[in-house]
Amino acid sequence: MGERIPEDERLWRKSLQPGDLVDAVKFDMEYNLKIWAKATIKNVNVELIEVSFINDTNKMNRYLWWYSPDLSRYDTQS
């Protein structure tokens, strides 16, 4: 699946470690929205990356595939 991702992007995604900052899409159920938000990598498990959104409860955490379009470099999405 990750073969269409440019090499530099693939290397960045595969290098993510717990504690790294990223931008990620979170679901706001109250307003039925998907929005970009600042997040911290909480766990990395080969194919899945768990993100914890800054200033949010753990119930908002998401698991994303390493190649997910819902994951981006920190401070690049608004």
For residues 22 and 53, give the distance between their C-alpha atoms in angstroms, rounded to a whole number.
Answer: 9
Q: How confident is the model at residue 78 (pLDDT cuts 50, 70, 90)?
A: confident
Using one digit for the tens of pLDDT, what is the confidence trace for 2-48? 468 899 999 999 999 999 999 999 998 888 999 999 999 999 998 99
Quote the pTM value: 0.87
**What domains lie within the chain, and their CATH numbers?**
2-73 (2.30.30.140)
pLDDT, average across residues 48-63: 92
List beta partners, residue 28.
33
- Three-class SS state of 50: strand
